[in-house]
Amino acid sequence: MKFAYRFSNLLGAVYRQGNLSFSKDGNAVISPVGNRISVFDLKNNTSETLPISTTKNITCVGLSPDGNVAVVVDEDGAAVLVSLITRAVLHHFHFHKPVSSIRFSPDGSYYGPYDETTCIDWTDDSKCFVVGSKDMSTWVFGAERWANLIYYSLGGHKDVVVGCFFEKDSLDLYTVSQDGTLCVWESDTELDGLVLKKSQDKPKPPRPGEEEDSEEERKEGEEGEVIRGKAGAPKEKNTNNVRYKQRSKHFFNKEGDFNNLTAAAYHKPTHILVTGFASGIFHLHELPEFNLVHSLRISDQRISSVAMNSSGDWISFGCSGMGQLLVWEWQSESYVFKQQGHFNNMASLAYSPDGQYIVKVWNTNSGLCFVTFTEHTSSVTKVTFTSSGFVIVSASLDGTFSSLAVDVSGELVSAGAQDSFEIFLWSMQTGRLLESILASASWDRTIRLWDMLDSWQELAVATLNGEISFWNPQAATQTGSVAGRHDLETGRKETDKITAKQSAKGKSFTSLCYSADGESVLAGGQSKFVCIYNVKEQMLMKKFEISCNLSFDAMEEFLDRRKMTEFGSLALVDEGAGDGDGVNISLPGVRRGDMSSRHFKPEIRVSSLRFSPTGRSWAATTTEGLLVYSLDGSLVFDPYDLDLDVTPASIRKQLRLQEWAPAIVLAFRLNEKALKQEVLETKLLGFLAASLEKSGHLQFYMTWVQSLLMLHGQKLKNRSGAILPTLQALQKSIQRHFDNLSKLCDFNMFNIRYAAALSKQRGLKRAAEEDEGREEEEDEELSEEMSVASLEDADLML
């Protein structure tokens, strides 16, 4: 088995803190999640987590105007320049201070200052930028050496400036403060009125015989200004400095209905200002008249970030309190995207039988949650799917059950009681309580095997001394063990009084999971590492570091001596509630103004591990979130029986000669996935499950699948245990294509019905018009006949 698993996606969390950004086309939202970046495609309803991470939680993200590059800054001021095309880190930089906001200029040549600023905006031509500060002031800076604008300070606010925005193609600007005040500032100068300072020419060394002349020219220059003995540029005349005046001042919370203003965004083309409040309410105002366009409460949590897409139709909101990410279309008043991660630590996970869904039910293909169950009134301790994949069983502390299991047939469900230390068994069909016929592990250092309906080949047990032991259930004998304490490599918490080495003696694995083929076992626990052990050899095959986020506790082996004082560690000093890091814990029943709230750094740990039934991926519930690791065969070059004749050129030559057998043999010897697929699609069948998932030749593969299953069904059934992961992967691929085609067919069917109805309506309209025209012609003919008859009568009378 190849252990080329790589980080694939982050589920269970969609937003933590920091600013939200829209892509250049406005169809995707870029959201900071812990120390990673997730991209949510709103058109295709999918998500992707970039394979890059910072050393601490991300506080701000700056997206380049072309959407190809982003600057990501963490809590310590460490920044990385990331390519959104190649998903690679291009450069590292450290500001050495916390950064609150970062913005590219429209032409991509600058990025904003840091220090104590809270917001930044640029003019459309990148000539100037404005910054808002925590000292309640706003500063306008010239990005170039302007003669009439170096910097300009604006007041007018009595609280922290939350947002500052230039008007389109103008130096006029708007500032918004935390107390709900909007100031409209008008400039007396247009952007074209900025005058660039002329550069000072360096004096050239005089040639021999020209020293006196040059000295006389320097003294006789009446128009020039002599600076430090050098000829200066001519002084600009009639150049007035840029000045601002406050045009108007408006207040959002006149009646005191809203809390502090927490986020703001401005869409220049439509002159729409979006403001979010701590109460979960947001407003849309049209500027500069301050006309209220829209107002709605979208959450009961504090709105932490607001952003608008390029067209101004979609507004994204981030609520860090509950980890919510919302995209609202304000004109139609409907949700485009609505996701919420888990608020507290995850305790358990389960794959559906086809490996496509995880409970709180997340789609592993799109990375989005589509079902949330809220029936439990206390912490959920265990979840699992039945074999059919249509039923989810969960255990919770509201029923005092701490563990749960469902048999292979899906007919029996068992649960372990936390208080009475008993195991109960129910029938799924009748709901009746049956006898206890299970295997159980207990704190009394014993494992008890009960009469089992299904025969087990092997049992793995993790003990508190850090060992994993393997048992034969039939003979009740131990077949081997693995000493995994040293593989955990636990870190030292900031409040620990002992070293990490001594602390590791009390750590152990808390979650085990067998792979789909039973050859290896996943182990994780009170550590940032997940280990894969080979069951037969009983040795460590690979370790995965699930996080490098130093915002979590117990990440480092040694404490930072810079945080140590003569009174102990600075981590022991509680700074109370506020804008600090970590998780805010309030007293029960207190919703607002809790003076006893405290913060703490969550400790990194793995609470649950599961292999996908397909064997292509595995997932872990961690402090960071739900991490999914999958096989990436394209990055692994693993040939066998390789020589000079086994090359891509020789394989394609055999294909041109229609020598199918040598071509397939050479392709398998080279073992490159793309080349194998090329050969097999040319003549033979191969890798149906893997190829069917991504290939566009759907009919080709489905024909082969049908023929294979119909002709060799009995043989495949006899080997079902060995090929079960392949069959499950095949089922997953077919189901995905079925879902996509069903949506497409439904869409086409509705369009055809609409076209038919429209054609019918037009046909009826055309028929009515023809009937009306025919009646008009008959009326004209009748009138002509009457006129002719009247003339004939007149002639007769004459």
- Shared domain check, 416 and 366: yes
- Residues 514-527 have a mean pLDDT of 87
Residue 777 CA to residue 724 CA, distance in Å, equals 77
Query: In this structure, is residue 329 part of a structural domain?
Result: no
Of 736, 764, 788, the residue at which a domain comes to its end is 736
Instruction: State whether 489 and 544 are in the same domain.
Output: yes
Q: What pLDDT shows up at residue 313?
A: 92
**H/E element holding 778?**
helix 720-797
**Together in a domain, 503 and 544:** yes
Determine the pLDDT at residue 579. Answer: 45
Phi-psi region of 756 (alpha: psi -120 to 50; beta: other; left: phi over 0): alpha
User: Alpha-carbon distance 522 to 531, whole Å?
Assistant: 6
Question: Which pLDDT value is given to residue 591?
Answer: 46
What is the domain-level CATH number for residue 44? 2.40.10
What single-letter DSSP state applies at residue 514? E
What are 110's two structure tokens?
């600058």
pLDDT digits (tens, 9 = 90+) for 624-667: 888 888 875 444 456 667 777 788 888 888 877 878 778 878 88
Residue 722: per-residue pLDDT: 60
Task: Indicate if 130 and 44 belong to the same structural domain.
Answer: no
Write phi, then psi, for 269 (nearest 5 degrees). Answer: -60, -35
Distance between CA atoms of residues 460 and 457, nearest Å:
10
Spatial CA neighbour of 521 closest among 622, 441, 610? 610
The residues with which 46 forms a beta bridge, in sequence order, are: 41
Q: In this predicted model, which residue has the larger pLDDT, 20 or 474?
A: 20
How many other β-carbons are positioned within 10 Å of the β-carbon of residue 546? 22
Residue 595 resides in a domain: no
Evaluate whether residue 478 is within a structural domain.
yes
Q: Contact at 8 Å (CB) between 544 and 476?
A: no
Exposure string of 56-70, with b = 16+ CB inside 10 Å and e = fewer, is bbbbbbbbbeebebb
CA distances from 587 to 575, 598, 599 (A): 17, 10, 12
The answer to whether residue 184 is domain-embedded is yes
Check residue 427 and give its pLDDT: 84
Q: What is the extent of the structural domain holding 117? A: 112-159+178-190+241-251
Residue 145 has which token pair?
């050496």
Dist CA 173 CA 139 (whole Å): 11
Q: Is 126 exposed, middle or buried (0-12, 13-18, 19+ CB in 10 A)?
A: middle
User: Is residue 401 located within the same domain as residue 526?
Assistant: yes
On whether residue 284 sits in a domain, the answer given is no
Q: Which amino acid is at 742?
A: S
723: phi then psi, degrees, rounded to nearest 5: -105, 10
Q: Which residue has the tokens 């200004």?
A: 225
Instruction: Specify which residues 38 forms β-bridges with.
Output: 31, 49
3-state secondary structure of 100: coil
Total number of domains in the chain: 4
Rg of the chain taking only CA atoms, in angstroms: 36
**435, exposed or middle or buried, with CB in 10 Å at 0-12, 13-18, 19+?**
exposed
DSSP code string of 394-431: EEEGGGTEEEEEE-TTSSEEEEEESSS--EEEEETTT-
Peptide bond into 288 cis (omega under 30): yes
**Nearest to 231, CA basis, from 212, 215, 209:** 215
Q: Give the lowest-confidence range in 294-308, 517-531, 587-601, 752-766.
A: 587-601
Angle subtended at Cα 694 by Cα 688 and Cα 696, rounded to the nearest 5 degrees: 90
382, 526: one domain: yes
- CA 578, 584, 587: angle at the middle one, nearest 5? 105
What's the pLDDT score for residue 211?
Answer: 42
Q: Are residues 716 and 691 part of one domain?
A: yes
**Predicted local confidence at residue 402, as pLDDT:** 76
Kindly state whether residues 437 and 503 are assigned to the same domain.
Answer: yes
State what percent of residues in the chain have pLDDT above 70.
77
Paired strand residues for 295: 283
DSSP state of 486: H
Q: How many CB atoms lie within 10 A of CB 763?
A: 10
State the amino acid at position 195 in one-letter form: V
pLDDT tens digits along 534-589: 988 888 998 998 888 888 888 887 777 777 777 767 766 655 444 444 444 555 55
| The most confident of 218-222, 380-384, 790-794, by mean pLDDT | 380-384
Q: Where among 82, 104, 126 does a domain terminate?
A: 104
Give the residue from 519, 521, 486 showing the smallest Cα distance to 501. 486
Q: How confident is the model at residue 85 (pLDDT cuts 50, 70, 90)?
A: confident
- Among 171-180, 286-295, 676-685, 713-722, the minimum mean pLDDT is found in 676-685
Residue-level pLDDT at 785: 66
Q: Are strands 230-231 and 244-251 parallel, antiparallel or unpaired?
A: unpaired
Contact between residue 299 and residue 280 where contact means Cβ atoms under 8 Å apart: yes
Token reading at 758: 């429209």
Average pLDDT, the chain: 78
Location of structure tokens 């939200």:
20
> What's the full length of the chain, in residues?
798
Of the residues 223, 251, 279, the one at which a domain ends: 251
Question: In this structure, is residue 202 part of a structural domain?
Answer: no
Q: Is the pLDDT of residue 373 over 80?
A: no
Does one domain contain both 98 and 134? no
If 0-12 CB within 10 Å is exposed, 13-18 middle and 19+ buried, where does residue 418 land? middle
CATH number for the domain harbouring residue 526: 2.130.10.10
Indicate if 63 and 121 belong to the same structural domain: no
Residues 527 and 396 in one domain: yes
- Residue 422's Cβ-count burial label (10 Å; 0-12, 13-18, 19+) is exposed
Burial class (CB in 10 A: 0-12, 13-18, 19+), 463: middle
CA 501 to chain centre: 36
If you average pLDDT over residues 351-358, what whole number do you get? 63
- 792 occurs within a structural domain: no
DSSP states of 658-708 = T-HHHHHHHHHHHT-HHHHHHHHHHT----HHHHHHH-S-HHHHHHHHHHH
What phi, psi does 500 have (nearest 5°)?
Answer: -65, -35
Tens digits of per-residue pLDDT, 707-737?
A: 777 776 776 677 666 667 767 777 878 888 8
Contact 549, 16 (CB under 8 A): no
- 660-670 helix and 673-682 helix, angle to the nearest 10 degrees: 160
pLDDT value, residue 791: 57
Q: Is residue 742 part of a domain?
A: no
Residue 486 shares a structural domain with residue 367? yes
